[in-house]
Amino acid sequence: SREYDTVLESGEYEINGVNLFSRIADSSLQSGNYTDALRWFDEINDNELTSDDYLKKAIAYEKNDMTHEAIKLVKTLLQKDPDFIQGYYYLQQLYENEKTFGDAIEIGQEGLRLNQFYKELMYSTGALQIEHGDQNEGVTLLKQALEVDPGYQEPLLMLADFLRNKEDYEALIELVQYVDEEDMDPQFMWQLAYALGQEERDKEAQHFYGLAFASMRDNIDFLKDYYYYLIEIGQIEPAKSILQLLLQKDSGNPEWDAEQGRLL
């Protein structure tokens, strides 16, 4: 702003303890002027950069496609201020963007040694372990994130998907201990219903399929699971109504025409 320019021209770079370069850089960053943001951050002496400044300057580097410089800066930040927990989370994201997954997992573990209740870092590190590292460790971290916050849906849904793919239906059903039915995500209800069906716990499976249906009636994969489950347990009339939805929503799929012919 003009006021800032006037003050800067006067040579006064700090007012009431606020570094004006930092303030302008932050303002540029927030408004998407990433090149300007970096230019203003470069005006601040390294010994005057706060931990927040370091992080924001790293973000400016990243936004200017200078990821390696961003990584170097956050590593410097964590050497200077090892308790700055957001730094671990952001550095992990940078490593993940660079596909250096081992480094991403390691920095997550380092941050969790510092703060064992940082649920977002538990989730992100657990997800990385499941996809690129030690899957058992990943499952443990995702469950710990749920213990910290039972309402945290992302780790719950990731665990449900993972356990379904592993065909570990008993472990999937056990996830119910982390969530109240009234707070249950419809996506989780679906996976739970599927697992209960696989374990032939049909009364419970039908209950959760029914609950999920209101929110998932436009999801073709859900409808497919529900349809074949109803066929399997001999509920032909309800299956026909699900088949009608599949014929509407997945009309190009010959599978449903064949099923319609079979049921007629």
CATH number at residue 117: 1.25.40.10
Say if 111 falls within a structural domain.
Answer: yes
The last residue of one of the domains, among 29, 45, 76, is 76
Position 60 in a domain: yes
Q: What whole-number distance in Å separates Cα of residue 161 and Cα of residue 188?
A: 9
Tell me, yes or no, whether 68 lies in a domain.
Answer: yes
* 183 in any annotated domain: no
* Dihedral Cα 13, 19, 21, 22, nearest 10 deg: 180
Angle at 161 between CA 94 and CA 182, to 5 degrees: 105
Provide the domain limits for residue 130: 82-149
Q: Do residues 110 and 62 share a domain?
A: no
CA nearest to 126, candidates 112, 140, 113, 116: 140
- What does the pLDDT read at residue 183? 87
Over the stretch 41-66, which tens digit does the pLDDT of each residue have? 998 988 899 999 999 999 999 999 99
Q: How far apart are CA 127 and CA 152, in angstroms?
A: 14
For 239, what's the count of Cα atoms within 13 Å in the CB-facing half-sphere?
A: 18
Mean pLDDT of the chain: 94
Taking the C-alpha atoms of residue 227 and residue 243, their distance in angstroms, rounded to an integer, is 7
Residue 79 has pLDDT above 70, yes or no: yes
Does a structural domain hold residue 238?
A: no
219: helix, strand or coil: coil
Q: Where does a domain end: 24, 45, 76?
A: 76
Residue 138 has what pLDDT?
98
Whether 141 has a pLDDT exceeding 70, the answer reads yes
Domain boundary among 76, 104, 138: 76
Chain centre to alpha carbon of residue 263: 41
pTM of the model as a whole: 0.88
Distance CA 87, CA 89 (A): 5
pLDDT, one tens digit per residue, over 249-260 is 999 999 999 999
